């Protein structure tokens, strides 16, 4: 038996509220829409992983999701253009990532990172 993928599910009274954040900010595509659930994807093939943590690193809270990107500055510009506040960072961490925290429209703490 092998795990093929792990899917993160976020509870939301109105799943459509994630459109700007996940499509416009991160460039994800809506790949499934049943009204009650909307699934966004980058189309990238990813390694399946789960992280279990006592903190988020550098004394920060454990984020709900981590999104690795190839251009952190582009994401920061898009967030600024939508007036979405940054919760932490951006900062270069000693373990080799540059990152920041932001909250999605559903209140989830998102760790956005780029490996240096």
Whole-angstrom distance, CA of residue 21 vs CA of residue 52: 25
Q: What is the pLDDT of residue 38?
A: 98
Q: What is the pLDDT of residue 54?
A: 98
3-state secondary structure of 48: coil
Helix (H) or strand (E) holding 80: helix 72-81
Whole-angstrom distance, CA of residue 91 vs CA of residue 112: 11
pLDDT along the chain (116 residues), means of 10: 93 97 98 98 94 98 98 98 98 98 98 97
User: For 15-47+56-115, which CATH class?
Assistant: alpha beta
Q: What is the pLDDT of residue 103?
A: 98
Q: Please tell me whether the peptide bond between 90 and the residue prior to it is cis, using omega within 30 degrees of 0.
A: yes
Whole-angstrom distance, CA of residue 73 vs CA of residue 99: 10
| pTM above threshold 0.75 | yes
Q: Do residues 108 and 22 touch, judged by C-beta distance below 8 A?
A: no
The residue ranges of every structural domain in the chain are: 15-47+56-115
């Amino acid at each position: 038996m092998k795990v093929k993928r792990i899917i993160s599910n976020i509870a939301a009274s109105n799943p459509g509220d994630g459109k700007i954040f996940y499509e416009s900010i991160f460039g994800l595509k809506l790949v499934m829409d049943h009204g009650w659930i909307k699934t966004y994807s980058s189309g990238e093939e990813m390694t399946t992983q789960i992280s279990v943590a006592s903190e988020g690193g550098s004394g920060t809270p454990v984020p709900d999701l981590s999104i690795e990107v190839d251009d952190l500055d582009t994401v920061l510009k898009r967030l600024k253009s939508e007036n979405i506040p940054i919760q932490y960072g951006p900062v270069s961490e000693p373990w080799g990532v540059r990152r920041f925290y932001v909250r999605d429209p559903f209140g989830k703490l998102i760790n956005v990172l780029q490996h240096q």
